[in-house]
Amino acid sequence: MQANEIDISSWEFSQNPFWFYDKLRKNGPIHYLERNKTWLIIGFDEIIEVLNNSQVFTSEGIHSFDPILLNCDPPKHTKNRKILAGDQALFSSGRVSKLEQTNRGIAARLIREIKKDSPFDLLKEFALPFSSLVILDLLGLKVEEHNELKSWSQSAVSNQSIHDREYANKHWEGLKPIIKQWIENSKKNPENPGINEFIFHPRAIENFTTEDILNLTKVLLLGGNETTPNLVSSAILLLFNNPELLSKVKTQPDLIDLVINETLRLEAPTQIIQRTCLIEIEIGGQKIPKGSLVSLAIGAGNRDPNAFENPDIFNLYREKSRILSFGFGPHYCLGAQLSRQEAKISLELILNEFPELGLVRSQNFEYRYSSHVRGLNKLMLRPFKVKKQTFEAVRKHIIKLIKVTQLKTGEFPTYEYYPNTEELRQKGWHITAPSPFVHANVVLSLINLKNVGLESVIEKGTEFIRSQKEYGDVWRFWQLGVGVNNVPPDVDDTAICSAVLESIGKKLENKKLLEANITANGVLKTWIYPKLIDFFMRPRLSYKWWREKQYYQPTIDANLLNLNDYELGVMANTLLYLGENSTTKTSVEFCIDLWKENKDTNHFYNNEMVIAYHLARAYKGGVDSFEKLSADILEQIEVRFNTLFFPELLLAGLCIKYFKLTTDLKSQIAERVRSTVIEEDFVFPQFEYFTSKDRNYVAGSPMLVMCWFLELSEEWDC
């Protein structure tokens, strides 16, 4: 991967920046990112060189946040810092040490409020409020507006605000009157500790305006609300992903300081900080022009192999060395000691108070959408022990569930939840009839299985499809009428139902009908509706569709459906059935281009792993050219691996299986899937398999997930 391909403001980067750092590191420590108009520095030594040279690399003039500390260079910065961190000042070592018992009391109160019998979000219910209450208490501010403070801080470090300062400042303007009133109230009681200590400091009185004090307060609140919660959640996740280490820490609490230090190195809460280059200078073999924006990748420096042995490995007993997580040089983080103290208190109390604590493994470990801050959106924990099953028992349980879930008609029930809004009700959209697509996908996965005792289930499922046949071998599974799923038949419903029947030897005559939806440039349209030639070739079918148009025309008129719609996942499913031949070749190539150039903007299946699975399955079914996508799909799995939630993990494993890829991820996926289903006693979350432009619903998800699990794990040792 080249530097000109990387966008640090992208969602993919926010989920796994380390993957991108590793790709760049092969070509040196400094890279110009054209998409972000910045020089990205990923080398440990080069980052320190920049942080130690404020005369060349200035903090001033970049952000509008804080002209007192963050956006201020020495010697002015040095003098200002003494107000807050000098002898016996608010953030001095002695004062922070004295806060420990008070802060333990705050943490203990929050811990007591957590229910012991249900899962909880560590960030929302403990880490965020704890850190916020600590900083508010330190500043001597009231806590009634706590939620507003948290809301502002989260918006301020969002990806949008990093690259659009007006966005963050707009949110701050709404909060500013509250902070201003606090300052005015504090001035009336100058003897009170906290914020008054820098309001009435002699240097502050001489040099700081009211706006300066407001900005400084903003920075302190922001730091208190964000950095430590991200550190605590990252440490907990790392511990639970390393059971031996977790067990050791529980019996030896003195190791927590080492855990915190290594977590700071591996998962730096602040990933990127920025400077402006005042002169042309050469660093790390690269000439950086005057006026350039320089982005220092703290997270990359902490994993530089030139500075740390086996840098991606969590090593509790790593030889002590400098880390960059709290910065370096003049701008070393003011609240570093307080942050470490809060993290230590948090880990000690959580592990002690909840001896049976465990991760909710089926959750989505998704990170904040920000290039500068590294932290989970949420971290669900369960404070109780769960019943464990053997892997073999899990598979048997699933097979039984599939048998008892199938209806007497042979159908697998489908649930499609449409938005319950007045606007859509007026357009006739509501809970619909069963989906042929979901039912056929379930049967197709079951057909791929061997020796699981589901032959009669498959037979009834295929017979149900056969019983739903319409003219022209198009399967709808419902009758059109007022207020019922008012759309024409679609190609992937028809294609997947046809693929099921073809797999058991039934020959159909509908391939030319589907091929007629392919345009000259390779687009394979989603909706099947009569064309002029059909009136001659398929008169009964054409007449039927002509009559049906009265039902779906209101849908078209309401802009909920375009007869020219197409989407990569839909096309891949159709090509699975049609195969790769002279007629479909242009569509196959069109699909490849859509994926490689990231131009698939329709997104009926609004999940990248779902689309990748459809492409891989089509390759397995005979679309050989889709092999060109295997490396790209594997790369996407690598980038997102740590944040894939359970159904996505299954689909990633099936992609690797279908493409017959050789990768270490194969065994890693198996390990994670095993731990999930056994740890959670086989409880799958609802999975939003479909998301389209006009509706958002869950359709048949539990049944699909069970089938994916069986298909992926059939060759694993029980």
What is the average pLDDT across 543-571? 86
Average pLDDT, the chain: 84
| Better-predicted residue by pLDDT, 440 or 71 | 440
Rounding to the nearest 10 degrees, give the CA dihedral for residues 68, 74, 76, 78.
80
Least confident piece of the model among 132-141, 148-157, 432-441, 663-672 = 148-157
Would the pLDDT of 398 be above 50? yes
Write out the two tokens for 277. Answer: 């280059």
Query: Residue 528: pLDDT above 80?
Result: yes
Whether the pLDDT of residue 230 is over 90: the answer is yes
Backbone φ and ψ of 498, nearest 5°? -65, -40
Residue 650 has pLDDT above 80, yes or no: yes
Domains located in the chain, CATH noted? 3-382 (1.10.630.10), 391-713 (1.50.10)
Please tell me the predicted confidence (pLDDT) of residue 429: 41
* pLDDT reported for residue 220: 79
Give me the torsion for CA of 23, 27, 32, 35, rounded to 10°: -30
Residue 163, pLDDT score: 46
Q: Residue 103 has what pLDDT?
A: 94
Residue 286 has pLDDT above 70, yes or no: yes
Residue 167 pLDDT: 53
Dist. CA 131–CA 570, nearest whole Å:
47
Backbone angles phi, psi at 334, to 5 degrees: -60, -35
Residue 416 has pLDDT above 60, yes or no: no
For the stretch 71-125, pLDDT in tens is 788 888 888 888 888 888 888 899 899 999 999 999 999 999 998 888 999 998 9
At residue 401, the pLDDT reads 86
Q: With residue 51 as reference, give the H or E element that holds it.
A: helix 44-51
pLDDT digits (tens, 9 = 90+) for 420-433: 555 544 544 434 55
- The larger pLDDT score, comparing residue 77 to residue 152, is at 77
Lowest-pLDDT choice from 83-92, 160-169, 175-184: 160-169
pLDDT at 679: 66
Provide the token pair at 458: 């498959």
Least confident of 32-41, 253-262, 469-478: 469-478
Contacts of 290 (CB under 8 A, 6+ apart): 277, 278, 279, 280
pLDDT of 694 reads 37
Least confident of 33-47, 55-69, 438-452, 544-558: 55-69
Distance CA 649, CA 655 (A): 10
Q: State yes or no: cis peptide before 75, omega within 30 of 0.
A: yes
Instruction: Residue 712: name the closest of 655, 662, 665 by CA.
Output: 655
* Rounded mean pLDDT, 265-269: 95
The residue among 552 and 685 whose pLDDT is bigger is: 552
The sheet with strand 120-121 has its strands ordered as 120-121, 380-382, 358-359
Per-residue pLDDT tens over the stretch 443-479: 999 999 988 899 999 999 999 999 998 888 999 887 7
Q: Is 470 left (phi over 0), alpha (psi -120 to 50) or beta?
A: beta
Measured over the CA atoms of residue 22, residue 23, residue 28 and residue 30, the dihedral's sign is negative
pLDDT at 202: 74
Q: What region does 468 belong to: left with phi over 0, alpha with psi -120 to 50, or beta?
A: alpha
Q: What percent of the chain has pLDDT over 90?
A: 45
Residues 353-363 have pLDDT tens digits of 999 999 887 78
Does residue 515 carry a pLDDT above 80? yes
pLDDT surpassing 50 at residue 697? no
Mean pLDDT of 253-272: 95
- Report for 132-136, 191-195, 575-579, 666-670: range of highest mean pLDDT: 575-579
Quick one: pLDDT band at residue 511, thresholds 50, 70, 90?
very high
The full DSSP string for 107-134 is HHHHHHHS-TTS-EEHIIIIIHHHHHHH
pTM given for the model: 0.77
* Residues 347 and 111 sit within 8 Å (Cβ to Cβ): no
- Which pLDDT score is estimated for 304? 95
pLDDT reported for residue 64 = 54
Q: Is 27 exposed, middle or buried (0-12, 13-18, 19+ CB in 10 A)?
A: exposed
pLDDT in tens, 303-343: 999 999 999 989 998 887 789 999 888 888 888 999 999 99
Q: DSSP strand E in 255-308: where?
A: 272-277, 281-283, 286-288, 293-297
Residue 288 is predicted with a pLDDT of 95
Lowest-confidence segment of 62-76, 383-397, 572-586, 682-696 by average pLDDT:
682-696
Mean pLDDT (whole number) for 123-141: 85
Q: What is the dihedral of CA 259, 261, 266, 269, to 10 degrees?
A: 110
The pLDDT of residue 191: 73
More confident residue, 174 or 550: 550
Q: Which has the higher per-residue pLDDT, 69 or 110?
A: 110
Give, in order, the Cα–Cα distances in Å from 307 to each of 42, 595, 712.
12, 38, 40
* Residue of higher predicted confidence among 346 and 395: 346
Q: How many residues does the chain have?
A: 718
Stronger pLDDT, 588 or 391, i.e. the higher one: 588
**Can you give the pLDDT at residue 605?**
61
**17-26, 602-611, 652-661, range with the lowest pLDDT:** 602-611
